[in-house]
Structure 1
Amino acid sequence: MAGLGHELADLVLPRSCPGCGAAQPWCAGCARTLADRPREPMLGESTLDGFAAAAMALPQFRALARYRGPARAAVIAGKEHGRRDLPPRLGRALATGLLRLQRIGLAPPTELWLLPAPTKSTAARGRGGDPVTAMACAVARQLAATGQRVSVARTLRTGAGAADSAGLSAAARADNLAGRIKVRRSALPPPDAALVLLDDVLTTGATALASCLALAAHQRQVSLVLTVAAVPDWRRTG
């Protein structure tokens, strides 16, 4: 029923830009806020400690924008307000960012496996679908149009017992997800596949850490974590 309601809304409700209210679904000006080169966000200490404790290589982390302004508005509208047209648009921005990272050697060059970050199945049903998976499929379509071999694998899921992470500290987020990200064995990419973990927002990196740990238990390694937006500031280099 939720999905049917969203479909009817898509047909009858006018779509305005979530970033500025313009009379178009996603205006060019707000889209440009996601067009800069993907940058590296600062990870929480608990996340860095988690990778170190597991003796696991730290993937590259990149985001298109800070979690504010049009980026934040578009993510929230797509996730919480039934704007199912927005995740594919955000996915196309992610694809452009991923292509830029490939050109400078920060992303695997070809034959990618895109893994949507895990979402509770109940939450996905309530939203009429999983927006992160919708983004991943849009990324795959755009990369495939350039001749690349790319697949989307819904390998990760959130198991029982994980609470809503809103308001939790970085350490509490890590504890909340520890051992609760599960792997669907039937959806595992091949061994030695080039894996890119996709998500809408990076807050502390706890979800990425838990996802990488779950995959490492099956001898799979993530090369890149790419998100639309990041809460932390950018990491300074040089």
Structure 2
Amino acid sequence: MPIELLFPSRCPGCGAWGARPCESCLASFGPPVRVPGAGPPVFALAAYGGAARELVLAFKERGRRELAAVFGALVAAAVPRLPGVGPGAWLVPAPSRASAARARGGSHVLRMARASGFSAAPALAFARGVRDSVRLDTASRQANLAGRVRLVPGRLPPPGAPVVLLDDVVTTGSTARACVSVLKAAGIGVPAVLTLTTARRTHSYG
């Protein structure tokens, strides 16, 4: 008996039977929209709530690795629409803490980047001492990352290639700022940051 008959597929966004994910939940994501705030230009495809949040969590924390292809397709459609990003763009995934990446079976952001069809360069990593930032405020997040984002030798994009920093959710923007700062210090231009979702309450889609 096919396993699908024993365990029918369900949408990780809303729990509906027979689709993974359903069209209604996918409609939560739109074209890249600028996230308000200082720092590098950050663009998001959805607000971090409802179905979009559930899909991201299913991919990130609940083992739904097949969503890499779904999110990769969204990224593939969004990158050419980012200002200042020309052909031949490379994606640099935002790093995860080593323990979190091990628990997820590897970097989920790198998995999504590779599924997009763009060249991906896992050029960044966190040094030891970075804490889980979920309950940290802006100042604490900045202090948490200060001096703890490092380049990974041998994994940089080629010189002169346009680079997009890729992440799954932006909250305060501290991670984006720290990563872009390290890349720019190495002579790597980052015209845009792309994230699936934003948790900033000032951000909306319509």
CA contact (8 A) 1:39 1:62 kept: yes
TM-score by length of 1: 0.78
Query: Which residue does the alignment assign to 2:33?
Result: 39
1:1-238 alignment, distance < 5 Å:
14-23=8-17, 24-34=19-29, 36-43=30-37, 48=38, 58-101=39-82, 106-139=83-116, 141=117, 150-234=118-202
Compared CA separation, residues 122 and 14, structure 1 to 2 (3 A): farther
Compared CA separation, residues 13 and 204, structure 1 to 2 (3 A): farther
The amino acid that maps onto 1:79 is: K
- Identical residues among aligned pairs (%): 41
| CA drift at 1:216 | 2.2
Q: Distance in 2 between matches of 1:120 and 1:228?
A: 19
| CA drift at 1:107 | 4.0
CA contact (8 A) 1:75 1:87 kept: no
Q: Distance in 1 between matches of 2:84 and 2:108?
A: 23
Gaps of 5+ in 1: 1-8, 49-57, 142-149
The number of residues matched between the two structures is 200
SS at match of 1:186: coil
SS at match of 1:76: helix
- The two structures, once aligned, show a CA RMSD in angstroms of 2.0
SS at match of 1:219: coil
CA contact (8 A) 1:40 1:234 kept: no
Gaps of 5+ in 2: none
Compared CA separation, residues 13 and 205, structure 1 to 2 (3 A): farther
Compared CA separation, residues 226 and 163, structure 1 to 2 (3 A): same
Compared CA separation, residues 235 and 16, structure 1 to 2 (3 A): closer
TM-score by length of 2: 0.89
SS at match of 1:165: coil
CA contact (8 A) 2:92 2:164 kept: yes
Q: Distance in 1 between matches of 2:86 and 2:188?
A: 18
The amino acid that maps onto 1:134 is: R
